[in-house]
Amino acid sequence: MTFITITFVALAAICWGAGAFFDKLILRYLDPANAFIAKVFVTIILFLPLVIWKFIPFKKAVETGGRVSVLFVFLSVVVTMSGVYFYLKAMSGGEASRIVPLSSTYPLITFALVCFFLGENFTAVKFIGTLFVCAGVFFLSK
């Protein structure tokens, strides 16, 4: 991995970690359903200018990518936002220090899906490494 890639990974981890902290604070004031709607609403407000600004290049990209690209965008949004909702439900009923690590075992799902459906290399080292990450996360939640 390049330094730039590592930097972006670190920034993503910092943002996601801080986001979980704020999610727990939100749930002190809102139930999970309203917290979810509030997050969607704020996302729309914040990103609407970007959507308007980039609409024509986006339209061209969709025309190039075809209908299947729209389907994959739709599916990505549905499963990701479903995960956010389920995560908020879990956070409202438990300790963030346990919920966040347990919900972070998703690399095992991603690993299985990309190996079986996208043909990425399945190696023992990758598999064991993914299991170790998930096991470490599990033990952190104890």
pLDDT band at 81 (very low <50, low <70, confident <90, very high): very high
Mean pLDDT of 111-126: 90
Residues 6+ apart with CB under 8 A from 68: none
**3-class SS of residue 114:** helix
Report pLDDT for 12: 87
pLDDT tens for 26-77 read 999 999 999 999 999 999 999 999 999 998 998 888 888 888 888 998 999 9
Tell me, yes or no, if the pTM score tops 0.85. no
User: What is the rounded distance in angstroms from the CA atom of residue 4 to the CA atom of residue 48?
Assistant: 28
Q: Is the pLDDT of residue 138 over 80?
A: no
Q: Which of 3-17, 32-46, 66-80, 90-104 has the highest mean pLDDT?
A: 32-46
User: What is the rounded distance in angstroms from the CA atom of residue 37 to the CA atom of residue 8?
Assistant: 28
- DSSP assignment letter at 2: -
Rounded-to-5 percentages of helix, strand, coil across the chain:
85, 0, 15
**Of the candidates 141, 137, 74, the residue with the CA atom closest to the CA atom of residue 109:** 137
Number of Cβ within a 10 Å radius of residue 57:
9
Q: Is the pLDDT of residue 92 over 90?
A: yes
